[in-house]
Amino acid sequence: MTTYTFPHNFIWGAATASYQIEGAWNEDGKGESIWDRFSHTSNKVTGGHTGDTACDHYHRYEEDIELMHRLGLKAYRFSTSWPRIIPSGRGKVNLKGLDFYDRLVDAICAANLDPFLTLYHWDLPQALQDQGGWENRDTAYAFADYAALMVKRLGDRVKNWSTFNEPAVVAFVGNLYGEHAPGFKDEGIAYRVAHNVMVAHGLGVQAIRNANSSLKAGIVLNLWPFEPETNTPEDLSAAENIWKANETHFLEPIFKGHYSPESYEIAEKHLTTFKDGDMALISQELDFWGLNFYSRHVISGEGEFVKVPASEYTEMDWEVCAPSLRRLLVRLYQDYKLPPLYITENGSAFQDEVSADGKIHDPRRLDYLKQHLIQTRLSMLDGVDVRGYFAWSLLDNFEWAHGYTKRFGLVHVDYTTQKRTIKDSGEWYAQVIRKNEVPE
């Protein structure tokens, strides 16, 4: 036993999302999603790339599950596409779409993997966007119906259900910065979306539990710690202020039942659809939560973002700084009463080359993975209740506004032939799983 040996029941997994891998964007009765619309609009995605075909996982899921099996994964985190199942967002169900997820879940279970399902990883039915999308509170009720339908169909095999992936990205990257679908740049819309998404989360949790009380319900948040450039009081307070204004907007309502004063100051004037009872709905106790962790922000005393000359940066221009994962976890478990945690995403994009021997030697991704697993284990020894780790991502895939230019996979995908090749980092991860231990 070394320090980096994990508990015997630790869950080792990998994650994906429907729009990023499935393709088959208009097959078998699937409705249009906001990402179909967005990527089909010029100048939204690098190179005009779309998820029309992506990794063609819709047709190749059996091969992909075989890969997961070869890697020795214990669990697979994926999302379901709402418009594939309910093309206009509410009402008529597309049975062929539902059947696809039924077959997928059967195949996951047959490979001895535990399915972790996310109901919303950003592909809203366009028909609902046409009625105001998440800015319209009715979308939250439509989401609850969709959640109930999925639980009824898959709840006999899927035990772990996440309502949303990264509500902050849904609200702000999609509606304030305009970089993701639906592409708005409007503060009011963004804050209303944020609130309604939290209401939808609360309704979703109720729908999951009403349909099957033995299931586990949670949500996946992305958090970037803001850390000071130096330990001067100016830097420390600048970083702390930005953390409170930016990163507590979902944490406080979900885990404390109220907005933090710092984020409510901006949000209040926009929350025109706030109802009594919302905060209780939003802050229902959860069985688990998921953290997507990639990097940190470093802040100067003037509140500016700074780069650290000595640090390594990934293709996304995100700093590699694994110790900040441990610092973040320890702080979160001091500040909040949190349920058990899964790290639901963690990974890095680097340029990969297929070498003459047909292999993908990706030492930087491997090292990123290793450093973050070590810090995960150390945070557990500090007392943080981490139950599992999901690498982002199983496959190279459609990286949103960056199209196919950023590769995060443990498995390389040749988009011309759809050939999959396990990278060195994937082979290394398989060894870690086999031994349940990160080698020194």
In the complex, the smallest distance separating the C-beta of residue 293 from ligand FCB, rounded to whole angstroms, is: 10
In the complex, the smallest distance separating the C-beta of residue 21 from ligand FCB, rounded to whole angstroms, is: 10
In the complex, the smallest distance separating the C-beta of residue 396 from ligand FCB, rounded to whole angstroms, is: 11
Positions that interact with ligand FCB (CB under 6 A): 17, 20, 165-166, 169, 222, 292, 345, 392, 399-400, 408
In the complex, the smallest distance separating the C-beta of residue 55 from ligand FCB, rounded to whole angstroms, is: 13
Determine the residue type at 287.
D
What's the CA gap between 422 and 64, in Å, rounded? Answer: 11
What's the CA gap between 61 and 108, in Å, rounded? Answer: 9
Q: Which two tokens stand for residue 405?
A: 């230019």
What is the maximal distance between C-alpha atoms in the chain? 63
Those residues whose C-beta lies under 8 Å from the C-beta of residue 30, and which sit 6 or more positions away, are 24, 81, 83, 84, 87, 94, 97
In the complex, the smallest distance separating the C-beta of residue 426 from ligand FCB, rounded to whole angstroms, is: 17
Backbone φ and ψ for 153, nearest 5 degrees, come out as -80, -40
What's the CA gap between 401 and 404, in Å, rounded? Answer: 9
Task: Please say whether the beta carbons of 181 and 128 come within 8 A.
Answer: no
What's the CA gap between 411 and 390, in Å, rounded? Answer: 14
Surface-to-core class of residue 112, CB atoms within 10 Å of its CB (0-12 exposed, 13-18 middle, 19+ buried): exposed
Nearer to ligand FCB, 235 or 399 (CB): 399
What's the CA gap between 400 and 397, in Å, rounded? Answer: 9
Active site residues: 166, 345
In the complex, the smallest distance separating the C-beta of residue 330 from ligand FCB, rounded to whole angstroms, is: 23
Nearer to ligand FCB, 228 or 347 (CB): 347
Instruction: Report which DSSP code applies to 15.
Output: E
In the complex, the smallest distance separating the C-beta of residue 346 from ligand FCB, rounded to whole angstroms, is: 9
Those residues whose C-beta lies under 8 Å from the C-beta of residue 11, and which sit 6 or more positions away, are 74, 75, 114, 342, 387, 388, 389
Task: Please say whether the beta carbons of 150 and 162 come within 8 A.
Answer: no
What's the CA gap between 240 and 242, in Å, rounded? Answer: 6
Radius of gyration of the chain (CA): 21
Nearer to ligand FCB, 292 or 324 (CB): 292
